[in-house]
A and B are shown apart, each in its own frame.
Chain A
Amino acid sequence: MKREILRLENIVKKFGKLTVLDEILLSIYENEFVTLLGPSGCGKTTLLRIIGGFEQPDAGRVIFNGKDIARVPSNKRPFNTVFQKYSLFNHMTVEENIAFGPEISGKSTDYIRGKISYALKLVNLEGYEKHDVTKLSGGQQQRIAIARAIVNEPKILLLDEPLSALDLKLRRSMRAELVRIKKETGITFIFVTHDQEEALSMSDTVVVMNQGYIQQIGTPENVYNEPENAFVADFIGDSNIIDGVMVHDKLVRILGREYPCVDVGFPPESPVDVQIRPEDITLDEPQEDALNGVVTKVGFWGMSYDIYVSAGGFEWLIQSIHRREVGEEVSLHLDPENIQIMVKPQSEDEAKLVED
């Protein structure tokens, strides 16, 4: 049974006239790796800062262990933060940085010494006690920032885009490190990022946000394979999103053709958004009765080719390991289980959210 550790109830935050967070409802469970994912300006960092106590919500409650802590200052919360720019104390050594928290809370020298060596071991920087933090690499500084937070044994660790300043390779290895550190310490992680790959590869739960609203909460597989709306589909991974009409259960009409699908429960003849992942489309020789088109553009990304095909009045994106030439005629094939049907936004307001 998962135990709820933090609950956000109807959090509203406005900066001037701009509503950054609108009635946010979110439960976070003990020992969970939760990622707040969204484009810049979606409110994810503000939400993290509210949890950390660096901002106060205009309305709503932050419930921790049954108590509202929305007005408790950050130095009195049992949470610690790993900041985007590391924010290490440059006038202190590695050791002094890590000892900062325990010293403030009046721990004994022996306890602190033990904690420092434990934390440095945890982040693979044993023997760096006396080093000057300004002389460390970006990756090492980030590890020290993690160690400095972990030694306080926070109930929740807040991570504000901690990997964004690192290069790609380092970022990848740090992802695995973070997951390992989370497992070893058993601390609940709340991680903020705009990088969907980061979110999908590390999290237990992904919270997709846009324009101050939560768009979807789910496991990484869940939000990737079954996006609830076109924003989520578009933001996470590449997508072909096409206007469609649900003919009846398990049959959808797109671009004038009818395709079998697996979704049920939509009213007959209702307009829907149809999402098809670029890697789920297979290309073949042109055939009668198939959706035929012409390759308009080809890009190479190392792992695969991005192939753009104009077919049925729509520009399709297809990812394939087989190269195609521009001008080549091809046919497109879709499997029913790869066609994802999503509810069309009801109001103009919602539609705008999706477009943005």
Chain B
Amino acid sequence: MFRSIGLRNLFLVPFCVWAGIFIFVPVVFIIYYGLTDTAGNFTWDNISMILRREYYSSLRLSVLLALVTTIVCLLLAYPLCLILVERAKSSGAIIILLFVLPLWMNTLLSTMAWQTIFEHDGILNQVLRIFSLPDLTLINTPTAVVIGMIYNYLPYMVLPLYVTLSKIDKSIFEAAKDLGASAWQTFWKVTLPLSLPGAISGITMVFIPALTTFAISALLGGSKLLLIGNVIEQEFTVEYDWHLGSALSSVLMIFIIVYMVLTFAFEQSHQEED
């Protein structure tokens, strides 16, 4: 018994070492840089920079675009997954594979493709001109960034939702219908509550990368549309102000931690209800 527990703990050592060096230490460094000035003295100045208009508005725009992306992904993924789980397992799985295909491609590559579509003389406008329709100015707008994020992050919403929905026994939906519920009532009273865990993981997996992205916004948002991820990137690579960059990262981390605590609390309360 003692030996086997010792052996099991032994297997944990590589993970602990890994987590220590590559997760814990960097976080400590970021917090350290964030809370010190160039001389190494403790200060709140870096953190309080977030209250300056330029940084604050970047953060606000990031949260807004991440929210829009998450909601659109949710609205796209639910009907899709509901239709797919009703189909035969094999054909449903193939279509899921198609939707997950963007994951196989490099984000930068696919985002650059969107860039060529949205450009002033890009594919979209060329097609519009064929039909004598007015040009659309999408490049360097929030819309372009949101579309790019939806394209890249939709798979992260579809996958957990599909898995959760396909695990629900179909006779549950028949039971609801049998008891008089319309399709809409069945969705609200049965499907949604039963698939909520999948929806929450999907929301988490879309919202967090959408909140922190800098590549998609850099390529599709241009230099004027700065999300918090781009600001942080600039502090590190252009301004070389590691202290401010770390401080802004810490603020973003706090946002994510608050979000995680909220979803965790929600899931807990939901489980107790059951």
Contact = CB atoms under 8 A, between A and B. Distances in A.
Contacts of A89: 172, 175-176, 189-190, 194
B129 interface: no
A101 B193 contact: no
Interface string B173-199: 011111111100100011001100000
B179 A90 contact: no
Given A74-B174, A83-B171, A83-B174, A90 B194 contact: yes
A81 interface: yes
A311 B267 CA distance: 71
A87 interface: yes
Nearest to A80: B178
B176 A100 contact: yes
A87 B194 contact: no
Interface string A81-116: 101110111110000000011001100000000000
A105 B179 CA distance: 9
Given A90-B194, A90-B274, A100-B189, A80 B171 contact: no
Nearest to B186: A75
Contacts, number: 63
Given A54-B174, A91-B274, A85 B179 contact: no
B174 A87 contact: yes
A91 B180 contact: no
Contacts of A83: 171, 174-175
Nearest to A84: B171
A108 to B, nearest CB: 16
A52 B178 contact: yes
Contact of A101 (B174, B179, B182, B274): B179
Nearest to B179: A101
Interface of B is mostly: helix
Interface string B185-222: 10001100110000000000000000000000000000
A134 interface: yes
Contacts of A79: 178
A74 B190 contact: no
Contacts of B193: 91
A74 B177 contact: yes
B194 A101 contact: no
B179 A148 contact: yes
B169 A104 contact: no
Interface string B258-274: 00000000000000011
Contacts of B181: 75, 100, 104
A100 B182 CA distance: 12
A240 B149 CA distance: 72
Contacts of B169: 85, 87
B177 A87 contact: no
Contacts of A52: 178
A73 interface: yes
Nearest to A83: B171
Contacts of A152: 179-180
B171 A104 contact: no
B172 A87 contact: yes
A118 B67 CA distance: 48
B268 to A, nearest CB: 15
B252 to A, nearest CB: 34
Interface in A45-63: 52, 54
A350 interface: no
A356 B194 CA distance: 42
A132 interface: yes
Contacts of B174: 54, 74, 81, 83, 87
A80 B172 CA distance: 13
A98 to B, nearest CB: 10
A81 B175 contact: yes
Contacts of B176: 89, 100
A318 B169 CA distance: 44
B274 A80 contact: no
B227 to A, nearest CB: 37
B163 to A, nearest CB: 17
A58 B169 CA distance: 26
Contacts of B189: 89, 100
A104 B180 contact: yes
Contacts of B185: 104
Interface in A177-208: none
A90 B171 CA distance: 13
A87 B180 contact: no
A84 to B, nearest CB: 8
Contact of B180 (A84, A85, A101): A101
A105 B194 contact: no
A75 B177 contact: yes
Interface string A265-294: 000000000000000000000000000000
A147 to B, nearest CB: 12
Contacts of B273: 91
Minimum-distance CB pairs A-B, first 4: A101-B179, A87-B175, A87-B171, A104-B180
Interface of A: 52, 54, 73-76, 79-81, 83-85, 87-91, 100-101, 104-105, 132, 134, 148-149, 152
Given A87-B169, A148-B179, 8 more contacts: A73-B177, A74-B178, A83-B175, A85-B171, A87-B172, A91-B194, A100-B181, A104-B179
23 contacts: A52-B178, A54-B178, A75-B181, A81-B175, A83-B171, A83-B174, A83-B175, A84-B171, A87-B171, A87-B174, A90-B194, A90-B274, A91-B193, A91-B194, A100-B179, A100-B181, A101-B180, A104-B180, A104-B185, A105-B180, A132-B274, A134-B274, A148-B179
